[in-house]
Structure 1
């Protein structure tokens, strides 16, 4: 199904319901007349007959029609709930962040590895084993940065030989365990949102990257960030915690302005464009031509478009608010349907005087 939300008719919505497509997340809900329940279109429950449903554009509309929220997909929550299997394994990871997971460890829990792989791919865009490996390394690096002993980190990580442990750290960090204290290391975290997981990367300087997992250029952006700034490991960081809180507030409609330090690298021209993006008011749009005029370089429309495309901090640096002069939804690497979703979401929560 084409996820660019240009026309919304009953058949398109019903097809999305049948395929559990999340393209209309937050934009449309299905109401089941026979049960009196309303759901997300991506709900995993058994699909009702076409004749027994109607679609509405908001939770308020569904409730006004007398429907109650589904207990399975929980449409009133700002985030899509993780699958039960994913949530269970994240709990296991949190119990012992340094545990070395493999197929045998998964099997001991009575879990099918292929089912677990699909669950994590669906929720985070990566496999469980890779997710666990990256988070285990983050815990190890944090211990070593704080003066932990290398031999203890090695044993905690499940490595019998020091050479194997050193090589594993070198491969991921670019230096030996001894050199970690002297190298700049960024922190990364997967952040859940109603329209897909986002990867946040930060250090004490600020937020360097915030991108949707599906962005094609994300692997290249990660490698470029590593080369220009430093290694990246998965672990928590105060700026990532603040980012997660403020993103949740944004998606709940209670936050319109972010106050998170931005530290993404770029040319002086790119930085001027990104700074101007942050002046576009919540729920409004601006054309690329207007952006060029705003930075006092009206002939640089194409350069402005390229700078918008190179923005590595989505939503907070709101490149989604820039559209074509004809009103078209163009130029969004996070996928056009997300751009329209974000703009529609913001318009819902604009103060009434701004909407008039």
Structure 2
């Protein structure tokens, strides 16, 4: 989400004037209707305070907004092919669906063709689009803190049962089905690198991830299955604590997080994560060096897998692990974020040394 006030004012003016020069430059989410539009949408213009601005359609989808039916924001900048129109419509009919190659075959569509056409127009594949729309269902309530039942209309559902099913497939069982289900609370945190989601209880932080991370659904599913938990929008003292510490990290270069965390994984994974936490801010370690530190020099590949399974971004510092030749290597939140985080931490340490 775009946070720069002058840029937001510029984009709002472009929206009011329907300035075609800005089509594809930004997308605007309208809080009162739950849709997102492009700059030349012919609909009645919302008030400034009801607008949220995004650089990409994927960001708007993840924030819980659906494409406007009047301006068809996914038709820009190159126009929407009949295939793309059909696939978007199918997603809107069944947003909670997880698409497989067999689904494309049943429709007489080649999966590679759908993937290529979406990638050409939106810099994301159809599966990414469907996932972003699906995750937006859950993220809408998390972002706004609304009760589940109050969010269904904004998300485009005509019945509460349809919305309920979609939300539950991502966030788990409803609390009234069993008294033994553990309750966890999800909160939306805006950061300079994009929105993050925290999942906590009253005592610990269990998950902290970028909302657009590929595989986030699977992480959430593993978490709630392991704890027999249901996840609902909400804020606890732990939510507030990690949000405040993240703000200090991004704005002031906070080097040590004190929010209590719960590491859920195998003994090997926990041993890797505990070593990651010891890497000092402004420094890096290689996968090979980590293997030596845990007493298993041959475990380089396994360490990479443990990094990928880390559910506490930034706190458990997998972004500080690089390849032996100096290359950055992979990162669940994206290599560009990894590069930014390392540069940010180097700068913060240099300021402290002055």
Q: TM-score, normalised by structure 2?
A: 0.58
CA distance in 1: counterparts of 2:308 and 2:171, whole angstroms: 28
User: Residues 64 and 139 of structure 2 are in contact (CA less than 8 Å); yes or no, is this contact kept in structure 1?
Assistant: no
Equivalent residues of 2:204, 2:238 under 8 A apart: yes
Match for residue 257 of structure 1?
256
Match of 1:228 in 2: 226
- Secondary structure of 2:278's counterpart equals coil
> Which has the greater radius of gyration?
1
Q: Higher relative contact order by CA 8 Å / sep ≥ 6: 1 or 2?
A: 1
* 2:194 paired residue number: 196
Deviation at 1:254, TM superposition (A): 3.9
Q: 1:84 to 1:114 in 2, by over 3 A?
A: closer
Structure 2 residue aligned with 1:243: 242
TM-aligned CA distance change 1:133 to 1:330, over 3 Å? closer
Q: Which residue of 1 aligns with 2:212?
A: 214
Deviation at 1:329, TM superposition (A): 0.7
Match of 2:98 in 1: none
Where does residue 65 of structure 2 map in the other structure?
128
Q: Aligned ranges for residues 51-200 of structure 1 at < 5 Å?
A: 89=31, 111=46, 122=59, 125-128=62-65, 175=173, 178-179=176-177, 181-200=179-198
Deviation at 1:207, TM superposition (A): 1.4
Matched position secondary structure for 1:349: helix
SS at match of 2:333: coil
Per-residue deviation, residues 21-65 of structure 1 (Å, max 9, x unmatched):
x9xx9xxxxxxxxxxxxx89x946879xxxxxxxxxxxxxxxxxx
CA distance in structure 2 between the partners assigned to 1:162 and 1:132 by the alignment: 13
Match of 2:338 in 1: 339
For residues 304 and 240 of structure 2, the distance between their equivalents in structure 1, rounded to whole angstroms, comes to 31
Kept after mapping to 2: 8 A contact 1:123/1:197: no
Shift of 1:116: 9.0
SS in 1 for 2:349: coil
Separation in structure 2 between the aligned mates of residue 219 and residue 242 of structure 1, nearest angstrom: 24
> Which TM-score applies when normalising by structure 1?
0.58
- 1:179 offset after TM fit, Å? 3.5
Structure 2 residue matching 1:228: 3-state secondary structure: helix
Q: Take 1:46 and 1:165, find their aligned partners in 2: how far apart are those partners?
A: 35
Q: Deviations over 1:57-90 (max 9, x none)?
A: xxxxxxxxxxxxxxxxxxxxxxxxxx9965x83x
Residues 111 and 45 from structure 1, CA distance in 2 versus in 1: closer, same or farther, beyond 3 angstroms?
A: closer
Q: Secondary structure at the match of 1:231?
A: strand
Who is 2:302 aligned against? 303
Contact 1:286 1:323 (C-alpha < 8 Å) held by counterparts = yes
3-state SS, counterpart of residue 341 of structure 2: helix
Q: State the Cα distance separating 1:253 from its structure 2 match.
A: 2.4
Displacement after TM superposition at 1:321 (Å): 0.5
Alignment length (residue pairs): 258
Instruction: Give structure 1 stretches of 5+ with no counterpart.
Output: 1-19, 26-38, 48-82, 93-99, 104-108, 142-153
CA distance in 1, matches of 2:333, 2:138: 26
C-alpha separation between the residues in 1 aligned to 2:308 and 2:302? 10
